[in-house]
Amino acid sequence: MSSIFERYSRGLEKTKKGIFSAFLQKIKGRSLLDEAFLEEMEDILLGADLGVETAEKVIRAAQERVREGLSVEKAFHQSLLGSLSLKERELSLSRQKPAVLLFVGVNGVGKTTTVAKVASFLKEKGHKILIAAGDTYRAAGSVQMEKWAERIGAEVIAKGHGHDPAALVYEALDTARSGDYDVLLIDTAGRMHTKKGLMDEIAKIKRILIKKSGEEPAETLLVVDATSGQNVLQQVREFHEALGITGLILTKLDGSSKGGIVFSVESLYNIPVKLVGMGEGVDQLDRFEPLPFVEALFS
Ligand SMILES: Nc1nc2c(ncn2[C@@H]2O[C@H](COP(=O)(O)OP(=O)(O)OP(=O)(O)O)[C@@H](O)[C@H]2O)c(=O)[nH]1
Ligand SMILES: [Mg+2]
């Protein structure tokens, strides 16, 4: 089993080869920050998908640390790390059974794959899990979830294409309760954050869950695709407003040169990145840990 640092290093290869390598080359061995250099740094950090606010914050913090006597490289290392504030990143499972994990996001970001990954991980930890194949919108949606469930040996509630997803979720919650399941993972159809009808539908599903179980889902997880860069910020905003997101899952880091999005995505609504996907395999999901992540970027 490789260490999390090694897995991040591999997962971040594209990000490191991209604009981040220019950044590292520029700051290595440097001890002074002048205006022209700072502007150059800001351009590079923007190109690495940090976003204006975060890039400025990181640069200001780095400046401060250089003034205190740190090398430019160490200063940026610390300021990037510092931009990822201390947050609870552990998936929270409620005390009440079942703990409900609701997965949402735009089309094709990796929701179904991630549900399978998380289910497999929790199952290995000894939890009794049930999956609700809530994507009844696409004809192949629930079939894909069923196939995953079979591969990982998990139980799944699936209905055909066109079935009301709210009714399916309702039924799944009943089954999870009567069958004494520890965790209910709910896959949902991909939806554009700009389509009001679809956003209303997912908000309704969450309301039904709350009404029926008497509590908020243990987690409402927004799955976002790291290759989308700054578009992700819009998705976070809209989904958070409609649903109240408790954690972010950043997928496809392995295929993305925009790993820098991690630094800006959290700051928007102060929502923690909890998990990162770095491959299509069922075990290619990791917790997000700031220190090894930043170290892998600098390695
Ligand atoms: N490289 C890589 N590919 C991933 C990762 N996560 C998911 N994928 C791939 O992304 C594609 C879409 O994944 P799905 O899980 O079907 O995405 P989805 O969000 O459920 O899609 P819709 O239900 O259509 O909205 C698949 O080919 C997955 O194998 C990841 O972390 N890395
Ligand atoms: Mg899906």
Give the CATH number of the domain where residue 10 resides.
Answer: 1.20.120.140
116 part of a folded domain? yes
179 Cβ partners below 8 Å, 6+ apart?
Answer: 128, 130
**Do 249 and 123 sit in the same domain of this protein?**
yes
The 10 Å Cβ neighbour count of residue 163 is 16
Q: Does pTM top 0.85 for this prediction?
A: yes
**Do 39 and 181 sit in the same domain of this protein?**
no
For residue 213, the model assigns a pLDDT of: 92
Longest dimension (CA), the chain: 66
Length of the chain: 299
Residue-wise pLDDT tens for the chain (299 aa)? 689 999 999 999 999 888 888 888 889 988 888 899 999 999 999 988 888 999 999 999 999 999 999 999 999 999 999 999 778 899 999 778 999 999 999 999 999 999 999 999 999 999 999 999 999 999 899 999 999 999 999 999 999 899 999 999 999 999 999 999 999 999 999 999 999 999 999 999 999 999 999 999 999 999 999 999 889 999 999 999 999 999 999 999 999 888 889 999 887 788 999 999 999 999 999 999 999 999 999 98
Ligand 1 contacts CB of residue 219 (under 6 A): no
For residue 17, the model assigns a pLDDT of: 87
Domain boundary among 20, 55, 83: 83
How many domains does the chain contain in total? 2
- Strand-pairing partners, residue 183, are 99, 129
Q: Among candidates 190, 270, 187, 204, which has minimal Cα distance to 236?
A: 270
Ligand 1 contacts CB of residue 109 (under 6 A): yes
Alpha carbon of 107 to ligand 1 centroid (Å): 9
Ligand 1 contacts CB of residue 227 (under 6 A): no
278 part of a folded domain? yes
Alpha carbon of 114 to ligand 1 centroid (Å): 8
Q: Indicate which atom in ligand 1 lies nearest the CA of residue 117.
A: 6
**Do 167 and 274 sit in the same domain of this protein?**
yes
Ligand 1 contacts CB of residue 107 (under 6 A): yes
Ligand 1 contacts CB of residue 7 (under 6 A): no
Q: Among candidates 220, 154, 146, which has minimal Cα distance to 182?
A: 154
Ligand 1 contacts CB of residue 11 (under 6 A): no
Domain boundary among 58, 83, 108: 83
Closest ligand to residue 11's CA: 1
For residue 142, the model assigns a pLDDT of: 93
202 part of a folded domain? yes
**Do 77 and 116 sit in the same domain of this protein?**
no
**Do 55 and 124 sit in the same domain of this protein?**
no
For residue 148, the model assigns a pLDDT of: 98
What radius of gyration, in Å, describes the C-alpha atoms of the chain? 20
For residue 30, the model assigns a pLDDT of: 86
Q: How far apart are the C-alpha atoms of 109 and 239, rounded to whole Å? A: 14
Question: Starting at the edge strand that comes first in sequence, how are the strands of the sheet with 183-188 ordered?
Answer: 155-157, 129-134, 183-188, 99-104, 219-225, 247-251, 273-277, 285-287
Ligand 1 contacts CB of residue 190 (under 6 A): yes
**Do 70 and 112 sit in the same domain of this protein?**
no
**Do 109 and 62 sit in the same domain of this protein?**
no
C-beta separation of 33 from 62 below 8 A: yes
For residue 57, the model assigns a pLDDT of: 94
Ligand 1 contacts CB of residue 111 (under 6 A): yes
Closest ligand to residue 251's CA: 1
**Do 67 and 179 sit in the same domain of this protein?**
no
**Do 260 and 291 sit in the same domain of this protein?**
yes
**Do 142 and 57 sit in the same domain of this protein?**
no
Best of 144, 161, 280, 283 for a ligand 1 pocket test (most atoms within 8 Å of beta carbon): 280
Residues of the domain holding 232: 99-298
CATH of the domain at 121: 3.40.50.300
Q: Indicate which atom in ligand 1 lies nearest the CA of residue 277.
A: 31
For residue 173, the model assigns a pLDDT of: 97
**Do 151 and 291 sit in the same domain of this protein?**
yes
